[in-house]
């Protein structure tokens, strides 16, 4: 298609710099032991000729591709419409770039494509995988294990125990939910409802558990299932107003859900927070500041989670290739704290 220009060879670089092939190879692969004036001549020849080292050959030596796969277990439309993923990817991208590793985002149309993702992962194109937004029974974790790739998960995978060594980064979803509900009770509310997230994800289950920890024995009708989207929040809020018109507070499983709930409350003439107090989860900006009224919410450090996932994976890869294991012990999962951010809605 595009006309192919002959690729400059290692030999051409050696000739240009007036050194041996071995010297060029050492400089290109970052070994020590080449004196600086010589190394500088090689670097200059590399630059002038536009030499690109043969990565396939190089990675046979280093066993590294300097590339990390990122898989969001959602259709690409969702990846681009929910700002949560953009923010997590931002953290991952910053961290990988700082370590000169390429971020390889594997997009799919849906779960049916996960087997194909598994084949790519098994094909020797990346050093490890960062995976988030897993749903129950997703085949991805097993595909990644079979590919023999190290992985870090964003959010606790739902693996019913029995599999050791899984590393994940998560927020304290259950504790954050408890804080939200306690805050509502502290405002004197007693009929507190909960719109859940997608209950095939552990983050939604954990937030529901946190709600139940505080609202022991609450009317089951006060819990309605959502799906982490604004449309789901609207639908659930309508259902709640139908069945529990006397509710005086809502804890929504994320800010998008809360934004949908706020719209429906306004439609029904309910004043927020006077009639119904609302708390979200995420502190997703600018959404949480631009709702009417601005949203009280449970903040989690989404970008920080992304950075941490990348850092844990890179550390694990360094450990594998460092003979003296000085880099540290086996990484373990991290649960990050959340904080309640007060705005006008509760």
Which residues make up the interface to its own copies (CB under 8 A)? 1-5, 7, 50, 52-56, 59, 65-67, 76-77, 80-81, 83, 86, 89-90, 93-94, 97, 100, 102-109, 113, 116-120, 122-125, 128, 141-148, 150-152, 163-167, 313, 316, 330-331
| Distance set, CA 290 to CA 195, 203, 259, 318 (Å) | 20, 24, 9, 43
Q: Which CB atom, from 1 or from 61, has the smaller least distance to its own copies? A: 1
Cβ 271 to its own copies, closest distance in Å?
A: 26
CB of 146 to its own copies, least distance (A): 6
- Name the β-bridge partners of 330: none
Which pair of structure tokens corresponds to residue 100? Answer: 């000169």
Decide: helix, strand or coil at residue 264. helix
Report yes or no: 27 and 20 within 8 Å, Cβ to Cβ.
Answer: no
In angstroms, what is the minimal distance from the CB of 26 to its own copies?
Answer: 18
What is the smallest separation between the CB atom of 61 and its own copies, expressed in angstroms? 13
By beta-carbon proximity to its own copies, the closer residue of 150 and 232 is: 150
What's the closest the beta carbon of residue 82 comes to its own copies, in angstroms?
Answer: 10
Question: Smallest gap, in angstroms, from Cβ of residue 55 to its own copies?
Answer: 3
Rounded CA-CA distance 241/230 in Å is 17
- Toward its own copies, which CB reaches closer, 98 or 344? 98
DSSP 3-state assignment of 299?
strand
Q: Is the dihedral of CA 105, 99, 315, 174 positive or negative?
A: negative
| Sequence-ordered list of residues with C-beta below 8 angstroms from that of 88, at least 6 positions apart, any chain | 132, 154, 302, 303, 305, 306
**φ, ψ for residue 173, nearest 5 deg:** -60, -40
β-strand 296-299 against 339-341: which pairing, if any?
Answer: antiparallel
Our CB check for its own copies shows the closer of 85 and 211 to be 85
Specify the residue, 109 or 324, whose C-beta has the smaller distance to its own copies: 109
Least separation in angstroms between residue 249's CB and its own copies is 31
According to DSSP, the residues that pair with 79 across neighbouring strands are none
Q: Which of 169, 176, 175 is CA-nearest to residue 298?
A: 176
Would you state the structure tokens that stand for residue 35, as one six-digit string?
A: 């004196």
- Kindly tell me which of 106 and 237 has the beta carbon lying closer to its own copies: 106
Closest to its own copies by CB, 182 or 319: 319
Give me the half-sphere count of Cα atoms (radius 13 Å) on the Cβ side of residue 24: 23
Taking the least distance from each CB to its own copies, the nearer of 265 and 314 is: 314
- Least distance from its own copies to the Cβ atom of residue 252, Å: 23
- Closer of 140 and 261 to its own copies (Cβ): 140
Distance of alpha carbon 332 from alpha carbon 314, whole angstroms? 13
Cβ of residue 57: shortest distance to its own copies, in angstroms? 10
Q: What is the number of other CB atoms lying within 10 angstroms of the CB of residue 266?
A: 13
Ramachandran sector of residue 66 (left: φ over 0; alpha: ψ -120 to 50; beta: rest): left
């Amino acid at each position: 298609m595009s006309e192919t220009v002959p690729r400059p060879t290692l030999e051409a670089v050696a000739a240009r710099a007036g050194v041996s092939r071995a010297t060029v190879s050492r400089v290109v692969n970052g070994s020590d032991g080449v004196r600086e004036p010589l190394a500088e001549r090689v670097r200059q020849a590399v630059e002038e000729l536009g030499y690109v080292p043969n990565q396939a050959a190089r990675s046979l030596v280093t066993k590294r591709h300097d590339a990390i796969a990122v898989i969001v277990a959602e259709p690409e439309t969702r990846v681009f419409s929910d700002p949560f993923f953009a923010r997590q990817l931002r953290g991952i991208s910053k961290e990988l770039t700082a370590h000169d590793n390429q971020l390889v985002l594997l997009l799919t149309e849906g779960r049916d494509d996960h087997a194909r993702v598994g084949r790519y992962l098994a094909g020797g194109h990346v050093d490890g995988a960062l995976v988030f937004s897993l749903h129950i029974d997703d085949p991805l974790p097993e595909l990644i294990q079979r590919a023999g790739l190290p992985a870090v998960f964003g959010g606790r995978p739902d693996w019913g125990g029995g599999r050791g060594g899984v590393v994940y980064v998560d927020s304290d979803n259950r504790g954050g939910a408890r804080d939200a509900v306690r805050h509502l009770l502290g405002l004197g509310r007693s009929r507190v409802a909960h719109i859940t997230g997608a209950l095939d994800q552990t983050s939604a289950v954990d937030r529901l558990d946190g709600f139940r920890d505080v609202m022991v024995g609450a009317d089951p009708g006060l819990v309605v299932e959502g799906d982490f989207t604004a449309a789901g929040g609207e639908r659930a809020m309508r259902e709640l107003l139908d069945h529990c018109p006397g509710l005086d507070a809502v804890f929504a499983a994320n800010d998008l859900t809360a934004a949908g709930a706020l719209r429906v409350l306004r439609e029904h003439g309910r004043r927020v927070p006077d009639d119904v107090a609302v708390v979200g989860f995420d502190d997703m900006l600018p959404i949480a500041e631009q709702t009417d009224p601005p949203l009280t919410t449970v903040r989690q450090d989404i970008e920080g989670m992304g950075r941490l996932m990348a850092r844990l994976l890179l550390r694990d890869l360094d450990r594998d290739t460092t003979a003296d294991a000085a880099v540290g012990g086996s990484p373990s999962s991290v649960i990050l704290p959340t904080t309640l951010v007060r705005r006008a809605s509760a």
